[in-house]
Amino acid sequence: MCKEHQQLEQLIANNQQWSKTCVEKDSEFFHRLAAQQHPDYLWIGCSDSRVPANDIVGLAPGELFVHRNIANAVQATDFNCLSVLQYAVEVLKVKHIIVCGHYGCGGVQAAMGTEELGLADNWLRQIKDIYVKHKADLDNLRFRDQQINRLCELNVIEQVGNLAKTKVVQHAWQRGQELSIHGWVYSICDGLVNDLQVTTDNLSQVDSAYHLSPTDGATRPEIATAVSCEIPKK
């Protein structure tokens, strides 16, 4: 048996032991879990294998709806993330969305550099924009690790704002649905989360330029073509 196959066999054995242990502790665990999920929380976190969402906050399976990607980004063109968001808000009726980054994030570090990484460069472009936006302040920090960790925080803050700009979230608020967005950063060094105190729970906290009024096929505005060729004077 090849080494790779042995490794997979070990995972299956681990799964069997885990299932057995769960049943020994609680004979109804899987019956209850299979009934349906009613999580109050949507977790948007980094794909880093050292950041296990449920374990960090001490929640059992079924109590936390999870979406993960490189550097916990919320992008307007990411239909994977937006689909998860819509399902969590409109079907599961979660009350809290937690964007959780982590200090020392490799994706954030990569966005601060100039070396080509491949396809990931496109994904990290948004985070690089955040870096450029705050570069003067970051450069004032003495140590590289401080700069990286501060950008990890700034990235989470930006993603909280991106969530608040989505139609899914704004429509929920307009319906009167209870929904709050929170920004945390997890430390792999001590296992603790840092609440950045950027909770957003209503439309008044979003710049009016991003406010979206609900429409349907019959009420959507027509977009007029430009009729003036006059160039604005500087």
Q: Chain-wide mean pLDDT for the chain?
A: 92
Q: Residue 193: is its pLDDT beyond 80?
A: yes
Question: Do the beta carbons of residue 57 and residue 64 sit within 8 Å?
Answer: yes
Taking the C-alpha atoms of residue 99 and residue 88, their distance in angstroms, rounded to an integer, is 14
**Strands 193-195 and 180-186, how do they pair?**
antiparallel
pLDDT-derived band at 219 (thresholds 50, 70, 90) equals confident
| Residue 46: per-residue pLDDT | 97
Taking the C-alpha atoms of residue 109 and residue 164, their distance in angstroms, rounded to an integer, is 25
**pLDDT (tens digit per residue) in 18-74:** 999 999 999 988 988 888 778 999 999 999 999 999 999 999 889 999 999 999 999
Instruction: Give the neighbor-by-neighbor strand order of the sheet with 180-186.
Output: 65-69, 41-46, 96-102, 180-186, 193-195
pLDDT-derived band at 225 (thresholds 50, 70, 90) equals low
| Residue 131: per-residue pLDDT | 98
> Full-prediction pTM beyond 0.85?
yes
- Domains of the chain as residue ranges with CATH: 36-210 (3.40.1050.10)
What type of residue is 22?
A: C
Comparing CA positions, the residue from 62, 58, 85, 57 lying closest to residue 73 is 85
Q: With H, G, I as helix, E, B as strand and everything else as coil, classify residue 35.
A: helix
Question: Do the beta carbons of residue 43 and residue 66 sit within 8 Å?
Answer: yes
**pLDDT (tens digit per residue) in 129-146:** 999 999 999 999 999 999
User: What are the residue numbers of the active site?
Assistant: 46, 48, 50, 102, 105
- Tokens matching residue 84: 């998860």
What type of residue is 158?
A: E
pLDDT-derived band at 227 (thresholds 50, 70, 90) equals low
Which residues are bridge partners to 41 per DSSP?
96
pLDDT-derived band at 234 (thresholds 50, 70, 90) equals low
- Tokens matching residue 142: 């003495």
DSSP, residue by residue, 75-133: -TT-HHHHHHHHIIIIIS--SEEEEEEETT-HHHHHHHS-S--STHHHHHHHHHHHHHH
Taking the C-alpha atoms of residue 123 and residue 117, their distance in angstroms, rounded to an integer, is 10
| Residue 226: per-residue pLDDT | 63
Lookup result for tokens 């949507």 = 42
Q: Residue 184: is its pLDDT beyond 70?
A: yes
